[in-house]
Amino acid sequence: MSEMKRTSFPRLGETMHSTTLQNGLQICVFPHRDYTKAHAFFATRYGGIDRRFRIEGVDYDTPAGIAHFLEHKMFDMPDYNAMSRLAALGATDNAFTSATATAYHFECTENFKEAFEILIDYVSTPYFTAESVEKELGIIAQEIRMGEDSPGRALFQNLQAAMYPIHPIGGSIIGTVESISEITPETLYACHKRFYAPSNMVLCVAGNVDPTVVFELAEKMLPTERAPEIERFYGVESELPAKIRTECKMEVALPLFTLGLKLNLAENRLRSSLIAAIAGEIICGEQSPLFAELYSAGLTDRGFGYGDYYFPGGGMLIFSGSSREPDSVVEKLHSRASDLAKNGIPAAAFESAKRAEYGGNVRATGSPSAICRAQALGVLSGYSFTDFPEIMDGLMAEDVQSFIASEVLQTRAAVSIVLPK
């Protein structure tokens, strides 16, 4: 068995057992004997943006939505359905596809070993027939059409398209009815072979588990050879959005708005994300002067918030909410950012925002499922979530002010609005 490394993180109350198998698979286990549940999370660095790539000198251009389509089809096995078998063991399972990753996971209070074997088996065993693919085409086409009636999806999709006209992040993760019609069993087999190789994946387990069982089963059930490297292509984008404003009308009570700012590619994804989150909190968090002003004037409500999102090739800082005067809110957001960049960040505001972000990260990893998700998606992005306390210690108000001054620029902004019909 591959050598196992044990690392303690006293500030998080966690101990991680980790290893990298001969095939390149990274495994992280957080054992908790006092938990009744165990959670397993098996993910691949393959999402909606990974449509164009090169392997061993051969170029591939795949249909939009294929990563999501593949996720839907992975539960079908030659002689059983993975969902049904996991349910029979008392395990609760699910899966999702994001722009950058696809993940399969389950949680159980008993029969962990049996459920874990099923997870490894179905994720690593592709099985597609022309009939099952044709049936899934209809199901996902219906999902796409239903999504066309979602104001929230339209709001964000229109923003991404305005900001990133070249990068595939500007398109839909689930594709279009036209794009998925190009998917065949052959294209699914080809993408599984390339992206579901262990060297492109990570496996995280947390809860009442024995790390040795996890390592031994993964090593026994998965192929031993390493797959060739994948070269991915996302296109070259301008620092500026293609459109600064996009509007549509849908069935909403109040206008919905999202202000997006185009961020540069982050060298240290975790550090950049922590800085962006602190900046968002200082600009318009619930303890900020701007939030109090907007809320007291009735220009926004408790649903108003912010978020950051980094991905290969770029990133976004986003402010979203509903308002009877969205343009006024957007103008005040720009004004607040400009003032912070010019005059600096008050020490009390920085410390408050930093504490809020630290506490939010601790709470966000307070369960086996949350630990697995945070660590797995972090590893796929090149970092370990367990590093965040030390990174937070080193952050200064000047780091956040520098980020606001260089990244939160009106010239990089785009606005998406959904108006009532």
CA–chain centroid gap for 266, Å, is: 15
Of 209, 154, 48, 135, the residue nearest 421 (C-alpha): 154
Helices 185-195 and 66-73 cross at an angle (nearest 10°) of 90
**What is the rounded CA–CA span in Å between residue 43 and residue 109?**
21
Q: Under a CB-based contact definition with an 8 Å cutoff, are residues 162 and 414 in contact?
A: yes
Of 380, 15, 21, the residue nearest 216 (C-alpha): 21
Element (H, E) at 19: strand 14-20
Q: What is the largest CA-CA distance in the chain?
A: 66
Type of residue at 164: Y
Q: Which residue has the tokens 């912010």?
A: 306
Q: Under a CB-based contact definition with an 8 Å cutoff, are residues 288 and 331 in contact?
A: no
CB atoms within 10 A of CB 256: 23
Of 140, 39, 45, the residue nearest 102 (C-alpha): 45
Cβ neighbours for 282, distance < 8 A, ≥ 6 positions apart: 288, 340, 345, 349, 350, 353, 400
* Catalytic residue check, 71: yes
Catalytic residue chosen out of the listed positions 3, 14, 56, 71: 71
Q: What is the dihedral of CA 44, 47, 50, 54, to 10 degrees?
A: 10
Which residues are tagged catalytic?
71
